[in-house]
Structure 1
Amino acid sequence: MERSPTPERPKRAAPKRARTTPASIAALKDARGGQPSSNAADGNDVDVGLLLASLPRETLLPVLTSLITAHPSLKASVLSLIPRPTLETAIQAIEKSARKLLDAFPYSNATFGVPGPPFNGGMGGFGGGRSPAFGGIGVARPAPFGQTSDSSQSSGMREEYILSRLRPHVQDFVSACFSYLPYFSYSESTSLAEPGTAHPAPHVQSHASALQSQHKDKSHPSETFLLLQALTSHIILQPPLTQSALLPQLLPRLLSEWKAWVDRVDHVVNREGGMFGHETVRSWERGLDDLAQAKGNGLEAMREVRDQWVSRVGWLVGRQQMEEH
């Protein structure tokens, strides 16, 4: 018998070679722990601006704060990008902090007055400005301006306990004052003491100096006066025990700012031949006379500030000699 023919086996095709495009090479390197792909390296795969724009407004502050905390060197850059706060914003922030400080005082039988919002009008042009309205909103002032009574004795509480309650609110108030002063300052010195410390902190000094240099001469004397008047009044209307915790940190800088303001007004009027509105100067006179009545914890120095103003520019309102008030 004849053998049947053996069937032919199918021929195997040559194996195909893997395509090695740049994208596949990058992906392989990523999978094997190699260098990251170009998109991941330059960050173009995620639009951070788009994500930030979609975040609720209240979540942006924690993100920014966490970023500055993780990278303190960014603080100066962030500060330089923050728009200059308005006078109203600054006064409201300081007032809010002052009210929290006052509320923290554990008094029982005494009620202390808090100044109302000092800002109550626009500048009204060069030399516009209006006098702040003092007097409590919904609270009584039991003592003359700057002569509040302390209730720690009547309440039977120890001063150490009261101060322990006040301490965080004292630091918040000091921080608020130091944060806004550079935007309205005429002082050449920015040696600020960091809240809670006895000596200036170099990084606080440099940031304040940078802010003051950036916003130099942007504040009108009326704006600076209103801010200093509001700040000083909030201090005066605190209980004496609170003042004793506040003033060692604030009074040197506050007096420096007041004297720089007097120098500025003196320079504008007596050297540059400038003038201010009559009602504006009258409001300065009334405000300084009120502040000059303050007593205790070194606040008597406000009388010297008033007297310096009278001796140098008091002639604007027909007041050229020292007067007792």
Structure 2
Amino acid sequence: MAHPLTQHPPTVLPFGAPASMHPLGFGFGQPPRQNLGFGFGSPIHSPIHSGASTPYKRPAVRTSPTPIPTPNNKRSRRRSASPTPSPTGSPTLSRADERKILGKTPKRVRKEVGPAEQAADGPDVGLLLASMPPTSHLPILMELLNGNPAMSERVLKSLPAPPLSNVLETLERNVGKIGKAAGTWEPQEGVVAQRRWHRTEEDVSAFVKSANTYLKFFTSGSTGPTEPNTIFHLLHAITANVQQLLALVPSPNSPPPAARPLLNFANALLTAWNQWLGGLSDEVNNRGGMYPHGMVSSWADGLAGLTRAPPPPVAQPTHVSWSMAISAPVHVPESTLVSGFRDALVPVRVGFANSLGWMIR
């Protein structure tokens, strides 16, 4: 029979109590102890006398001397000491039924404990992993996560933050691979730009996935609060890389579908900048936090560099003779995606100067 408390949904329990709470917790709703037999306790015997309507008058007992013990008396005493059998219709269980129930209980316990005993008697998984090369741990972990995606959140909470230098080195390596496939970072148009994008499309997607993972890991606070200086250097490096990659997207007015993840990540990067500035302004102006003068100056210089437009290219003089007909190189303007992304960072630089500029004046 279900307990009364188990009939309520888990949301009724206050203070976020888990839904798997024992129904008899906190002492509420516990039935009387004599009703918790579950068939394993002592049977409850019914009264032997019958419920007659007329009162029964017990005859007076005459006193007699103590009888001399005889063999017949001993047999009668042993017979009277045996329990009185329950009458027909009694709710108690017979001895045969009790033996059946008690005989089934140990079997059920053995079936439940069996797997735990087998796991304890099996090989030590930690010892085996320690004896394997570290490069083999990642495939094993990824296989477990693919089979049980719910473990990802628990693994993230157990992961320590990687060194920022390792993260930046990984991202620079990815950008270098893209640069080799592209051949040049200069603006291009037409078929040349489309061919360059096709050569770098897969590498750009890999960079976006890696950069997005690192950005979410450091800004989500899953491993604790991250220092503002660490977040700034991560944002600055990723922003500079994204500015380079946006120049590779052909047809800025109608970019290809494969460039959509890069454009979405650029918008997420702008959101991360605004969150960093908002948290920093609240820490300094509302909570009285302070940072070194040199650190704040480096932040201001970094934002100024990201929002500064590159100088126009200088035309190189060409020395040709009257007999050689060489066409002058065609200047390709900067991609509107690059200039638009740079202009979107200007409010961050202005907000930093208005909120924290007094620290370096």
Give the TM-score range, shorter chain. Answer: 0.5 to 0.7
Q: Counterparts of 1:69-108 in structure 2 under 5 Å?
A: 69-105=146-182, 107=183
> Is 1:221 equivalent to 2:228 in the alignment?
yes
SS of 1:273's partner is: coil
| Separation of aligned partners in 2, 1:39 and 1:75 | 25
Per-residue CA distance 1:36-60 (angstroms, 9 max, x = gap): x879843623222222111112222
Relative distance call for 1:44 and 1:258 in structure 2 (3 A) is same
Match of 2:272 in 1: 257
Relative distance call for 1:65 and 1:315 in structure 2 (3 A) is same
Q: Equivalent of 2:349, from 301, 306, 325?
A: 306
CA contact (8 A) 2:174 2:203 kept: yes
> Is 1:157 equivalent to 2:234 in the alignment?
no
Aligned-pair Cα RMSD in Å? 2.9
| Separation of aligned partners in 2, 1:68 and 1:165 | 32
| Separation of aligned partners in 2, 1:301 and 1:182 | 21
SS of 2:283's partner is: helix
Q: Equivalent of 2:240, from 226, 233, 245?
A: 233
CA contact (8 A) 1:85 1:183 kept: no
Per-residue CA distance 1:263-315 (angstroms, 9 max, x = gap): 12211221122221111111111111111125731311011211111122112
Match of 1:204 in 2: none
SS of 2:217's partner is: helix
| Separation of aligned partners in 2, 1:311 and 1:239 | 29
Match of 1:177 in 2: 211
Residue 228 of structure 1 deviates from its aligned partner by 0.5
Q: Counterparts of 1:54-73 in structure 2 under 5 Å?
A: 54-73=131-150
Letter in 2 for 1:95: E
Relative distance call for 1:158 and 1:255 in structure 2 (3 A) is closer
Q: Counterparts of 1:105-116 in structure 2 under 5 Å?
A: 105=182, 107=183, 110=184, 112=185
CA contact (8 A) 1:39 1:45 kept: no
Relative distance call for 1:38 and 1:311 in structure 2 (3 A) is closer
CA contact (8 A) 1:102 1:238 kept: no
Structure 1 unpaired stretches of 5+: 1-36, 113-148, 186-211, 319-325
CA contact (8 A) 1:174 1:249 kept: no
| Separation of aligned partners in 2, 1:317 and 1:40 | 66
| Separation of aligned partners in 1, 2:169 and 2:280 | 25
SS of 1:238's partner is: helix
Letter in 1 for 2:138: L
| Separation of aligned partners in 2, 1:277 and 1:52 | 45
Residue 239 of structure 1 deviates from its aligned partner by 5.9
CA contact (8 A) 1:183 1:219 kept: no
Structure 2-normalised TM-score? 0.53
| Separation of aligned partners in 2, 1:253 and 1:42 | 46
Residue 222 of structure 1 deviates from its aligned partner by 1.0
Structure 1-normalised TM-score? 0.59
> Is 1:49 equivalent to 2:126 in the alignment?
yes
Residue 99 of structure 1 deviates from its aligned partner by 2.0
| Separation of aligned partners in 2, 1:239 and 1:173 | 12
Match of 1:3 in 2: none
Residue 163 of structure 1 deviates from its aligned partner by 2.8
Relative distance call for 1:39 and 1:227 in structure 2 (3 A) is closer
CA contact (8 A) 1:87 1:223 kept: yes
Structure 2 unpaired stretches of 5+: 1-113, 253-258, 310-333
Match of 1:288 in 2: 303
Structure of greater relative contact order (alpha carbons < 8 Å, 6+ residues apart): 1
Letter in 2 for 1:214: S
| Separation of aligned partners in 2, 1:291 and 1:247 | 18
CA contact (8 A) 1:97 1:176 kept: no
Question: Bigger radius of gyration, 1 or 2?
Answer: 2
Residue 165 of structure 1 deviates from its aligned partner by 2.7
CA contact (8 A) 2:193 2:249 kept: no
SS of 2:358's partner is: helix
Match of 2:56 in 1: none
Residue 151 of structure 1 deviates from its aligned partner by 4.1
The size of the alignment, in residue pairs, is 215
